[in-house]
Chains A and B, each alone.
Chain A
Amino acid sequence: MIALVGYTAILVALAAALGMAVQGARSFLQAESDPRRMLRWPVWGLLAGAALAMGALEVALLTDDFSIEYVARNHSRDTPLIFTIASAWAALEGSIVLWGLVLAGFAIAVFWSIGDRDRMGAAALAVIGIVALFFFGLMASAANPFATLDFVPLDGNGANPLLQNHILMAIHPPMLYLGYIGMTVPFAFAIAALATGDGSAAWLERTRRWSLLAWTFLTLGIVLGGWWSYEVLGWGGYWAWDPVENASLLPWLTATAFVHSSIVQRRRGMLQAWNIALVIATFALTILGTFLTRSGVVASVHSFTQSAVGPALLGFLVVVLVGSFGLFALRAHLVSSPPRLDSLASREGVFLLNNLLLAVFAFVVLTGTIYPMILEAFSGDRVSVGAPWFDRAAIPLSLTLLLAMGLGPLTPYRFAAPDLMWRRLRGPLQAASIVAAATVLLGVRPITVVITIWLATFVISGITGLAHRRARSGEGGYLAGLGGIFRKNPGFWGGMVAHVGVSLMAVAIAFSGSFNVRQTITLDPGESAPFDGYTLTYEGPTLRQEPNRRVIGAEFTLWRGTSRLGTLEPRLNQYSNQVQAIPTPSVRWGLREDVYLSLVRIEPGTARVTIDAFRFPLMWLLWAGALILVGGGAWSFVGGRRRRALDRPMVTARV
């Protein structure tokens, strides 16, 4: 019964998506039409269908309806409530239902923003309709969440152990999804700008906040993924250049390039065609990312369920690439802006450098990610690309990006006179050199770490200097002035906050990359071993039964000299529905460094334990920087919303 309701809801949404595509296209083709009237039913139908489908799936899970295969596979009678609810999007078919629901919500928001005779808005909704058509088509066929079993099992398999192991598994994928799906809106408007041949920055103005929203969620999703793999999965790190990680980084790189280059277009009317190309690339990369994670084509430490969804996504990716870039080739000359770069020594010039670096970065990561697939297709050899290859490219690119990040905000538009630049840069340069020299005196030797410190200080001192001068000249007291600049120009200052976050993260990555220590230690109960200035005492094994799992652990006391720092308990969590236990590391946070223990093995009988002990310096800085980065993105979005009616003089491409 619920299966029938759910499947009908999917068909309703599918029909509504078709309606959106057709009505949107008709409204676009008729000069005198009201897309609000023509699209009302399809857009609401899409949302109603998607919401009903999601609701039906939740009801099926909550009522233990094991006649539905998805429920039988991902739920059992004794699954805790929170994991039952989260199971609705924690496996492949359900995650696509969530995808459809979010897309439908975004479609409504776009629908509210369009006006009478709004051909661009109509075309954008038609594009969103086509994207929705694909995803609901997937639900109706290859990834049907309401497929029924021809028998009714007494109980189901239970929630995914990775989900039960940590609630973050219920949050991290949806955050990435919000980022991925959010990119659909700028993409739809970019295609609409091409279709209408509108060479103004109107499509950017209309999607600026969408891009920031999607970018912020994408950033949050990537950071949560890194935190999860470090803190919960115990892979001994937060980033491994794994194909699935790369899949989330790729659209982030192009989206970051777009967030920057769109500023140039809005301020100086340049880069119109380039912006459209970047948005198309970003959207295509989100589909590629979904394909990589969902098709099983890449050998990865993440191995997801494989299904017929893979070929469908690949087909859709080809359609997106051919359709979008075909349209681009035919119509880009209509929207392209004349070159008006006065001088490379200008803020536009720095933005160009930023875009060039990010594009090359994305290109390198893309090459390393799909090279194994191409090699396997042609030679049959299965390979993976090692992290050192990515590091070799990523380190110089990131350092140059930091340099651009330091120069950009201090460089004026149009032309930067050398004496002006010297006046502005002298302070940050001095601060950076002093801090870098102090770091060397404190004994830090690796050249990449010193350069990173230098650049990070350069960026941060430049931004704080700028804030300091503006706050002093602002109205009221110093603090009121400081608050005032954030409120008056949330876009710029949100960006500056994000820059500070990135700089801090760069320092943390350089330190944890250069100074991490790993040691494998084997101990009998009661024994102690030295570990990098600490002493670890193995107190003994632990075993306990928790409501939904059995926990096998090893208890350690951590000492520095004679002072007892605390207890660590790396463990293995065993869930009833999976033979493989899930290892969970134990991390002791510290200002200087984290001590991180990961359980390798406890010998049955003797209780002799083997652990991997790691030392990761300055990890708190990585997470703090990430929080600041996301906060900056969020502020430029939220603050921009409050001031939407007031600022933003429209700069068009053809003034």
Chain B
Amino acid sequence: MRRYRMFLIPAGGLLLILIGFLVFNIQDDLVYYKVPGEVVGNASIDATDRFRLGGQVVPGSITGGDGAVEFRVTDGVETVSVVHVGAPQQLFQEGIGVVVEGTWDGSVFNSDSMIIKHDEQYRTEDGGVYTPEQRYPGE
């Protein structure tokens, strides 16, 4: 057992140093993910902070097209206006879940990157999850 302890103490020490280094180093590469409820009225968000904002596109809120598009996203609690630079993806539409990345100036979220949430669940037009009952009611 003695040999193990002699080995474990320095190995454990090295491991702790490695963890410390890795976690210390990770801060710059973290991308924060927020929902509208955490953004609206949050004074601690700096206008230069880049983060991801996720939510559903409010039906009827999409304006513009082609080079830039404006819309609102909601988490059901709060709603945030988004100005996205660049052509939105084909999949982009009302009611769909999106994740945009950019900065928040207190009133508008300026995005330059958009991900459409892809998932294994089958979605209905209003973003809900299909159940067989809704689609094909039984006799």
A-side interface residues toward B, CB under 8 Å? 66, 69, 72-73, 91, 149, 151-157, 160-162, 299, 301, 303-305, 332-333, 336, 339, 360, 363-364, 367-368, 371, 381-386, 388-389, 392-393, 520, 522, 552, 572, 577-581, 583, 599-603, 608, 610
Contact = CB atoms under 8 A, between A and B. Distances in A.
A387 B30 CA distance: 10
B18 A579 contact: no
Contacts of A151: 133, 137-138
Contacts of A360: 18
Contact of A600 (B65, B87, B132): B87
B42 interface: no
Interface string B11-48: 00001001100110110111111100000000000000
Nearest to B52: A384
B87 A383 contact: no
A579 B124 contact: yes
Contacts of B137: 151, 153-154
Contacts of A603: 65-66
A601 B120 contact: no
Contacts of B96: 579-580
Contacts of B130: 157, 577
Interface stretch (B55-63, B72-80, B110-118): B110-118
22 contacts: A69-B132, A149-B133, A151-B137, A152-B139, A153-B132, A153-B133, A154-B137, A154-B138, A157-B135, A161-B122, A301-B115, A339-B3, A367-B22, A382-B33, A383-B33, A385-B29, A385-B31, A386-B31, A393-B22, A572-B91, A600-B88, A610-B87
Contacts, number: 133
B86 A520 contact: yes
Given A389-B26, A572-B90, A157 B133 contact: no
B132 A305 contact: no
A389 B32 contact: no
A154 B139 contact: yes
A189 B112 CA distance: 53
A52 to B, nearest CB: 25
B90 A602 contact: yes
Contacts of A73: 132
A608 B18 contact: no
Contacts of B122: 157, 161, 577-578
Contacts of B9: none
Contact of A383 (B18, B30, B138): B30
A80 B1 CA distance: 62
A299 B33 contact: yes
A386 B51 CA distance: 12
Interface of B: 1, 3-4, 15, 18-19, 22-23, 25-26, 28-34, 52, 65-67, 86-93, 96, 115-125, 130, 132-133, 135-139
Contacts of A602: 90
Nearest to B30: A383
Nearest to B117: A303
Contacts of B89: 583, 600-601
A581 B122 CA distance: 11
B136 A153 contact: yes
Given A157-B122, A520-B87, A580 B33 contact: no
B123 A66 contact: no
B107 to A, nearest CB: 23
B138 A368 contact: no
Contacts of A599: 90
A242 B44 CA distance: 29
A285 B26 CA distance: 22
A608 B88 CA distance: 13
Contact of A333 (B1, B28, B125): B1
A580 B87 contact: no
A367 B23 contact: yes
A388 to B, nearest CB: 5
A600 B133 CA distance: 34
Contact of B118 (A303, A388, A600): A303
A386 B26 CA distance: 9
B30 A384 contact: yes
Closest 5 pairs (CB-CB, A-B):
A389-B29, A610-B87, A151-B138, A386-B29, A72-B132
Residue of A72, A155, A580, A583 with most partner-chain B CB within 10 A: A580
Contacts of A384: 30-31, 33, 52
Contacts of B118: 301, 303, 580
B25 A389 contact: yes
Given A66-B132, A154-B139, A600-B89, A368 B26 contact: yes
Residue of B120, B125, B130, B139 with most partner-chain A CB within 10 A: B120
B9 to A, nearest CB: 15
